[in-house]
């Protein structure tokens, strides 16, 4: 009997975990960023679970919003778009806030897009957001406690 109860509880936990993985994370902490005169409202993904889910399963997102992925140490970062429905651009950002490179990423693909050098942050925005604002490598993000000023 104890074994059946344990199996039942384990099954429920597994189902809840699968359910949680298929829903977007909308309640992460937020931070205000700016680059030039443009403002960004970014959710912050600061731990392994938050970073692994990222913007998966999001069907829409306001144009001025994005997600800032924060890592403990600078390193080469690679991103893909499995289960991500929106076309995004990843800005690979150095510790001082300087954009090292940008990568356009197609939805629902497993192609890796990597930083060209060690970075501590990755900012994902709607694909085309950076291009429309003429923002590229060498520009610097401001306004977050995570980025050294």
Q: pLDDT of 66-80, one tens digit each?
A: 999 999 999 999 999
Closest CA to 36 of 124, 132, 148, 145: 132
Q: Predicted confidence band at 144 (pLDDT cuts at 50, 70, 90)?
A: low
Q: Are 84 and 28 in contact (CB under 8 A)?
A: no
Helix residue ranges, H only, the chain = 2-21, 48-53, 129-132
Calpha distance 40→50 (Å, rounded): 19
Burial class (CB in 10 A: 0-12, 13-18, 19+), 140: middle
Residue 65: which region, alpha, beta or left (left: phi > 0; alpha: psi -120 to 50)? beta
Q: Predicted confidence band at 21 (pLDDT cuts at 50, 70, 90)?
A: low
Report the pLDDT averaged over residues 20-32. Answer: 87
Q: Predicted confidence band at 149 (pLDDT cuts at 50, 70, 90)?
A: very low
Domains and CATH numbers, the chain: 2-132 (2.60.120.1140)
- Nearby residues of 58 by Cβ (< 8 Å), 6 or more positions away: 24, 84, 85, 86
Q: What is the pTM of this model?
A: 0.83
| Cα angle: 56, vertex 57, 63; to 5 degrees | 80
Calpha distance 61→125 (Å, rounded): 9
Q: Is the pLDDT of residue 19 over 70?
A: no
């Amino acid at each position: 009997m104890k074994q059946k109860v344990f199996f039942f509880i384990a099954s429920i936990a597994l189902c809840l975990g699968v359910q949680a993985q298929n829903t977007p994370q909308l309640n992460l902490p937020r931070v205000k960023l700016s680059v030039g005169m443009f403002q960004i409202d970014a959710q912050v993904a600061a731990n392994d679970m938050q970073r692994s889910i990222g913007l998966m399963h999001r069907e829409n997102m306001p144009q001025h919003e994005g997600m800032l992925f924060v890592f403990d140490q600078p390193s080469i970062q690679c991103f893909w778009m499995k289960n991500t429905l929106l076309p995004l651009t990843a800005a690979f950002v150095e510790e001082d806030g300087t954009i090292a490179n940008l990568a356009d990423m197609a939805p629902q693909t497993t192609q890796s897009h990597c930083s060209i050098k060690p970075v501590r942050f990755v900012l994902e925005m709607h694909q085309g957001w950076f291009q429309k604002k003429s923002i590229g490598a060498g520009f610097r993000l401001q306004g977050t406690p995570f980025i050294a000023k």
